[in-house]
Amino acid sequence: MTTMLTLLFSTVTVAIIAILSSSSQIGFGIFAPPEIAGSRDVFPSARVINVTGASGPESVAFDPAGEGPYVGVSDGRVLKWRGESLGWTDFAHTAANRIQREKSILLLTLLNSKAINLLLSCVVVVSQRQLCVRPFAPELEHVCGRPLGLRFDMKTGDLYIADAYFGLLIVGPAGGLAKPLVTEAEGQRFTFTNDLDIDEEEDVVYFTDTSTRFQRRQFLAAVLNFDKTGRLIKYDRSSKKVTVLLQGVAFANGVSLSKDRSFVLVAETTTCKILRLWLSGPNAGTQDVFAQLPGFPDNIRRNSKGEFWVAIHSKKGLFAKLSLTQTWFRDLVLRLPISGPRLHSLFTGGPHATALKLSEPGEVLEVLEDKEGKTLRFISEVEEKDGKLWIGSVLMPFLGVYDL
């Protein structure tokens, strides 16, 4: 009898969730994003810069001359903003086969009718090139590349790129094909390289590998399965040594050094925490919780004052809480016969945008929002520069700009 009741309860629960998931008002129902005390709903007034023919400008970076921003998009390119008159131009790419594809096109134009064998050898390469021009194709990210975190070395002008599939890469000030620097640590190949920061004084790069089980296009599955295989890693640029500093992180995400370089922060997205690893001082080598947040943090960026802007992918609503705290509910969710986008909508409670500014000790100083997603939604990074916030999103086809 108990087994039958459990099965009946499970079936009814799945049916209810499925019905709720089909509602066009999901963002304003029982799973709506919760309110945050003291937040200001100011992001609807932000302006957007459309990323024509692409989507998902996850990270935002400015070069040593202050030019940009530069963003990585979903088809494997890094783009540079040249202003309203010139728009976006290609700067770099992370997939080596993109160069091969371009060379193949040139070869094809030079071929004569007798070079059949050479022509056939190029067919696959050319067809792959056609696949990498789609604005949004998660199933092709492992072929085209997916640049996420971006950081410039302000001394050399080199751009460091965390590509979800190709590891930690570097490209010079002139752009072009990025060169892989490291693709594994302690014998474990990177599965989901995510974000980074550079300590130019110590000549090291700190970066995250989100999971050893799930790839970027499976990000929601990594959260729902409470995967704890994420790592914070250090790359010594002089010795080329790779060291795992933290492991067992539940969705290791954004990375940021403190202004005095005494600690490094890493976002533990699934638990809605920012972890702090002390690099120097009496607590060196130890970690603690820097901040507990009301939502799922993505990238962390320090401003000139030493404060930290944290982009919240979504606030933690009822559906997310149940999914992450109740095993029976999570099991039901993973069995839901609904699409990935619909499941994402359920989990997030609908489109919205939230950014928090934290002090150096980890106190919340400010919360800025677009509560109903009127202009911005699902933001991934907030970069403060010259009185403006430049706001990225791993999902949207535009960059946001908000005047402080």
Q: Over the stretch 300-345, which tens digit does the pLDDT of each residue have?
A: 999 999 999 999 999 999 999 999 999 999 998 888 888 888 899 9
In the prediction, which pLDDT does 130 show? 57
Give a yes or no: residue 111 inside a domain.
no
CA-CA distance, 192 to 60, in Å (whole number)?
19
Residue 376 lies in a domain: yes
The predicted pLDDT at position 134 comes to: 77
Tell me, yes or no, whether 106 lies in a domain: no
Predicted pLDDT at 260: 97
- For the chain, how many residues are written? 404
Helix axes 340-348, 2-21, angle to 10 degrees: 90
- In which domain, by residue range, is 299 found? 2-95+132-403
Task: List, edge to edge, every strand of the sheet that includes 252-257.
Answer: 252-257, 263-268, 273-278, 287-292
> How far apart, in whole angstroms, are the C-alpha atoms of residue 207 and residue 327?
31
**Residue numbers of the chain with a pLDDT score lower than 70:** 1-29, 97-130
Residue 217 falls inside a structural domain:
yes
CATH number of the domain where residue 317 is located: 2.120.10.30
Q: Is residue 127 part of a domain?
A: no
Q: Does residue 113 fall inside a structural domain?
A: no
Please report whether residue 181 resides in a domain: yes
CA dihedral 17, 23, 27, 33 (to 10 degrees): -20
Task: Write the single-letter amino acid at 144.
Answer: C
Residue 2 confidence (pLDDT): 53
pLDDT of residue 103: 45
Residue 189 forms part of a structural domain: yes
What is the model's pLDDT at position 318? 93
How many domains is the chain partitioned into structurally? Answer: 1
CA distance 128 to 126: 5
